[in-house]
Amino acid sequence: MSQLCLRRLSLLLLLLAAGAGCLSAAKAATTCTGTATSVAFGTVSTTGNTDVSATFNVTCNTFGLSLLANAKVRMCLNIGDGANGIGFFNPRRMTNGFGEPLNFQLYTGAALSQIWGSRGNPIVNTPQLSDFDYSVPVLGGSQMKTFTIYGRIPAQTLIAGNYNNPFTGIHTSIEYRYNETLLGTASYPASCISGGVGGATVMGAFPFTASATVLPNCRAYTTTDLDFGSIPGLITSNTDQTSTIGMTCTGRTAWNVGLDNGQHANGSIRRMRLGATGSYVAYELYSNAGRTTRWGNTINTDTVPGTGNGAAQSLTVYGRVPAPQTVPSGSYSDIIIVTVEY
């Protein structure tokens, strides 16, 4: 009787050993995928940096093996130059309908100190690195992480238009390797491309589009006084002087500059007044050096048109006090309002 019990015990130990061997050889599939939202800068500032952030999720799943206890994943999240890039990660660029560039950059942190690049890239070899560590019960397990892309459009010469750069296809990818264990805690693979029991490279893993709008805009206005100087005695000959109007408009901004008739005009005749008296000196303002084209305030009739180029632009106002005029001596003045329409 005792001999029969020993045989049954030996058989049970063999079965357990065989079962343990099957468990140690089993593997479960681990897959990692991502989803992203657009990096939308909105309206670009004309005076400084434009900053924005966007988030996206990456999920790793391990399926289909009972008793699996733990999975560890080592990952590289790569962002390329984008479909509208030209291979220079620093700066990246968006383009408008004319192919004109708008420089921008993507970063891994809020300090905007580390460019988000792509593993192995000779210019910006700085992917976002991340480790996943999660339990895997009988029916499988998973872990989701949220990542933030930080974007900046630096101050630069701007051209009006709508800009974008799609990061699709090869321009986003996830590289990962994973380890798993049936019992206990797994160890991390050596890197996102080596070690572990499996892994993959997922292209087009979290596609998104960077976009921005540069509005037509004029700013940084400057003017200089039109000083005709001193005229001795009667005004017996024309007195000519000039002044300037300055401004900065974004590229492709169509503008018109008009001048009103001043505070003391008599109909369409501009006049300077002597203090609070009823004495006036007639004068006129022109848009050309020959002083034949009167500068007025009616758009597309007597205003001065132009197009911004992103840099400071200057217009010359050609003034004339015509002769003859007989007026009392003294200091005459007027105020002209400049209108810029764009």
What pLDDT digit, counting tens, does each position of 9-41 carry?
332 222 223 333 333 434 678 999 999 999 999
- The pLDDT value recorded for residue 139 is 80
What are the DSSP calls for 111-145, one per residue? T--SB---TT-SS---PEEEEEEEE--TT-EEEEE
Residue 311, φ and ψ in degrees, nearest 5: -110, 170
Q: For residue 113, what are its two tokens?
A: 């100190």
- Give pLDDT tens digits for 82-132: 999 998 899 999 999 999 999 999 999 999 999 999 999 999 999 999 999
Q: How many residues belong to the chain?
A: 342
- The pLDDT value recorded for residue 19 is 36
- The pLDDT value recorded for residue 2 is 37
From the CB of residue 302, how many other CB atoms can be counted at a distance below 10 Å? 14
- The pLDDT value recorded for residue 137 is 85
- The pLDDT value recorded for residue 65 is 57
Low-confidence ranges of the chain (pLDDT < 50): 1-26
* Residue 247, beta-bridge partner list: 313
Give residues with Cβ within 8 angstroms of 289, minimum separation 6.
Answer: 316, 318
Give residues with Cβ within 8 angstroms of 308, minimum separation 6.
Answer: 160, 216, 217, 218, 248, 249, 250, 251, 252, 253, 254, 255, 342
- The pLDDT value recorded for residue 182 is 82
Rounded Cα distance between 128 and 134, Å, is 20
- The pLDDT value recorded for residue 181 is 86
The structural domains of the chain, ordered by start, are 29-214 (2.60.40), 218-341 (2.60.40.1090)
Q: Cis link prior to 91 (omega < 30° from 0)? A: yes
Rounded Cα distance between 92 and 81, Å, is 6
